[in-house]
A and B are shown apart, each in its own frame.
Chain A
């Protein structure tokens, strides 16, 4: 079972190492990772996808909370949240395939952000399944390079992940 954790941390050097190091030494596997500063410049938010049962998740949360630089850990439930990943995909094209690729990109509401003679760079944003579908469709044309961000997630509605509670 996969869980998405939103971890608020001090925006200081070395904090990501502490968090990532904790995962490896306690035997927890990071499936996806994204880091960025929050609405407060002194706080960063790490989004980590971790797989494991409830016991593993409980230990991950407790161990994370023991880190001095970790301010708050929240489990973001998939049903009550929105999540996004972003991918850049460089697809090989020629005059016969370019139009078809552009059509697929259009259907997916993705974007073409660079056009070359032999290639296109596609930017696609969405949840994991959308990016996977896009990747599969473009594969037939030849994917020359692909880069993906980790997942970021946010609760729906009024609920927020804030510094105060811990």
Chain B
């Protein structure tokens, strides 16, 4: 490539072209004016959100749905700080994202200038890496590195802060071909000796279980996982982030584990003699009381991030590497061997029969029923969730068949994530039905994005499981605080149908079981951004439940 003279702002756009970026989610402001001027006739789609937080979540949803790097853009100061929740969400769930912010001119940095915030300082603990452009000539290199860092190794968000004067200053643009990062060399291939050790443990195990998470999805290893599970006839339990990594209806699937996991998944983990953990991090919502976690199991832990191995539990065979690569190698060593897992699978099948995931099947409109209906009518939908009960029901009662069809804020648990993330997912996968399974609380945290989806014609469906409560907090208050519902009642605060209509979206409502199918079908058929208000049972609980601090087999059924 020959060098071309251009201002820094143009260099940013050219860098985005070089990275294959087709869409940006953003919001303009004073310190990104030169950038927005370049965007005016740039060959990249810009989606104007109504709050910068939504830009970050949309970039995140886009990334999770497509596997590409999501990009968001905001001005300095409040624009940048509004991205923070979205960046932290992406960081906790290892989502590849590049966040671009404007900054006050270099000469003013540190002066408490108008709309100045030290965003690289603020995002230090919630980004994989971040940059402040101090020399305009560095823009191409910084973009090259940022995208590389965001999508490789354990993915994560990278922020680039660009002072306004560097957007104007002219440079000789040349996009670098090579990357030189002395301190960043992710390990992709697992150590062969360690893999052999793992294989020998697997072949000796009588009660193995595969415990898999988001790492499977990020490394595109669902096929290899299936081959391994079927090859060694081991049950598979997924984390929340791993929903879709293994088909929910597969005979070897035991569903989600942990606090709101299935009884049989939790029992199986606790009684197993070998846990094969892949792309997971032994989060407290999964392990429960850590000292009582899987007392008889040896643990094989495969993860691309060495710092996750041995962080929360002791590991017998650590393997640092990319899940897909490691599984491919592992498969070479475990093929066609005598297996001893028959009795184990029978035991699990009996648990499945005895303790199914269920709810009260009466004439009342219960939220679980709504999720089941969505699953039936839109089996190939991309499900995005808010946070709380809606999220758990979406995980429990939708029949997942493919990776990247369940998108949820797992680590940070960000209310208000679902709707803008659904918007991003729909932009990335316009051919898919994208449904945000929402609560009335969470939806109201970013409902202003109705304006964005209408203006940009992004036909997502928001299915509000409206119980008039901050349901998950209410559930904890019911169980642990004597039903003192302190500040969790939202009753009759909003007419969601009228709200949707006010923005020019379609608003629908279902109050009876019989209405559910019709409104879902109508929403899908309409091809318009739609909000469905499902007026569900108010005090329905997510069940079963492991109380915080208990072992995961000390699991309760709730009414």
> Which B residues touch A139, using CB under 8 A?
none
The answer to whether B183 touches A68, judged by C-beta atoms less than 8 angstroms apart, is yes
> Which A residues touch B129, using CB under 8 A?
67-68
**Interface flags, B118-161, vs A, CB<8A=1, else 0:** 00110011001100101000000000000001000000000000
Least distance between A69 CB and chain B CB atoms (Å): 6
> Which A residues touch B124, using CB under 8 A?
17-18, 21
Interface check B231, CB cutoff 8 A:
no
Interface check A157, CB cutoff 8 A:
no
> Which A residues touch B120, using CB under 8 A?
14
The answer to whether B181 touches A68, judged by C-beta atoms less than 8 angstroms apart, is yes
**Interface flags, A35-78, vs B, CB<8A=1, else 0:** 00000000000000000000100110011011111111000000
Complex Cα gap A69–B310 (Å):
24
The answer to whether A66 touches B185, judged by C-beta atoms less than 8 angstroms apart, is no
The answer to whether A62 touches B307, judged by C-beta atoms less than 8 angstroms apart, is yes
Complex Cα gap A67–B128 (Å):
8
Least distance between B518 CB and chain A CB atoms (Å): 51
Q: Which one of A13, A55, A68 lies within 8 Å of B184 (CB-CB)?
A: A68
> Which B residues touch A133, using CB under 8 A?
none
Complex Cα gap A69–B124 (Å):
13
> Which B residues touch A67, using CB under 8 A?
129, 183
The answer to whether A59 touches B183, judged by C-beta atoms less than 8 angstroms apart, is no
The answer to whether B306 touches A65, judged by C-beta atoms less than 8 angstroms apart, is yes
Closest B residue, CB atoms, query A24: B125
Interface check B45, CB cutoff 8 A:
no
Complex Cα gap A21–B128 (Å):
14
Instruction: Evaluate whether A58 and B310 lie within 8 angstroms (CB atoms) in the complex, with A17-B124, A25-B125 already known.
Output: yes
The answer to whether A163 touches B182, judged by C-beta atoms less than 8 angstroms apart, is yes
Least distance between B127 CB and chain A CB atoms (Å): 10
The answer to whether A59 touches B311, judged by C-beta atoms less than 8 angstroms apart, is yes
Complex Cα gap A139–B181 (Å):
49
> Which A residues touch B306, using CB under 8 A?
62, 65
Complex Cα gap A25–B181 (Å):
25
Least distance between B487 CB and chain A CB atoms (Å): 30
Interface check A9, CB cutoff 8 A:
yes
How many residues on B have C-beta within 8 angstroms of the other chain's C-beta atoms? 19
How many residues on A have C-beta within 8 angstroms of the other chain's C-beta atoms? 24
Least distance between B446 CB and chain A CB atoms (Å): 27
Complex Cα gap A29–B286 (Å):
28
Interface check A118, CB cutoff 8 A:
no
Interface check B305, CB cutoff 8 A:
yes
The answer to whether B307 touches A71, judged by C-beta atoms less than 8 angstroms apart, is no
Least distance between B393 CB and chain A CB atoms (Å): 34
> CB within 8 Å of A: which of B460-495?
none
The answer to whether A10 touches B182, judged by C-beta atoms less than 8 angstroms apart, is yes
> CB within 8 Å of B: which of A116-166?
163, 166
The answer to whether B121 touches A68, judged by C-beta atoms less than 8 angstroms apart, is no
Least distance between A42 CB and chain B CB atoms (Å): 9
The answer to whether B307 touches A166, judged by C-beta atoms less than 8 angstroms apart, is no
> Which B residues touch A9, using CB under 8 A?
183
> Which B residues touch A62, using CB under 8 A?
306-307
Least distance between A37 CB and chain B CB atoms (Å): 15
Complex Cα gap A66–B185 (Å):
10
The answer to whether A69 touches B125, judged by C-beta atoms less than 8 angstroms apart, is no
Least distance between A103 CB and chain B CB atoms (Å): 50
Complex Cα gap A67–B307 (Å):
11
Least distance between B512 CB and chain A CB atoms (Å): 50
Closest B residue, CB atoms, query A12: B134
> CB within 8 Å of A: which of B293-321?
305-307, 310-311
Complex Cα gap A103–B324 (Å):
70
Closest A residue, CB atoms, query B311: A59
The answer to whether B307 touches A59, judged by C-beta atoms less than 8 angstroms apart, is yes
Closest B residue, CB atoms, query A22: B125
The answer to whether A66 touches B305, judged by C-beta atoms less than 8 angstroms apart, is yes
Complex Cα gap A55–B310 (Å):
8
Complex Cα gap A62–B181 (Å):
17
Closest A residue, CB atoms, query B309: A62
The answer to whether A69 touches B307, judged by C-beta atoms less than 8 angstroms apart, is no
> CB within 8 Å of A: which of B327-383?
none
Least distance between B185 CB and chain A CB atoms (Å): 6
Closest B residue, CB atoms, query A164: B182
Complex Cα gap A25–B123 (Å):
13
Closest B residue, CB atoms, query A70: B183
Least distance between A1 CB and chain B CB atoms (Å): 18
The answer to whether A69 touches B121, judged by C-beta atoms less than 8 angstroms apart, is no
- Beyond A13-B134, A55-B310, A66-B307, 11 additional contacts (C-beta under 8 Å) are A14-B132, A17-B121, A18-B124, A25-B125, A62-B307, A65-B306, A68-B129, A68-B181, A68-B183, A71-B183, A166-B185
Instruction: Offer 28 A-B interface pairs, CB within 8 angstroms, sorted by A.
Output: A9-B183, A10-B183, A14-B132, A17-B121, A17-B124, A18-B124, A21-B124, A21-B125, A22-B125, A25-B125, A55-B310, A58-B310, A62-B307, A65-B183, A65-B306, A65-B307, A66-B305, A66-B307, A67-B129, A67-B183, A68-B128, A68-B129, A68-B149, A69-B183, A70-B183, A71-B183, A166-B182, A166-B185
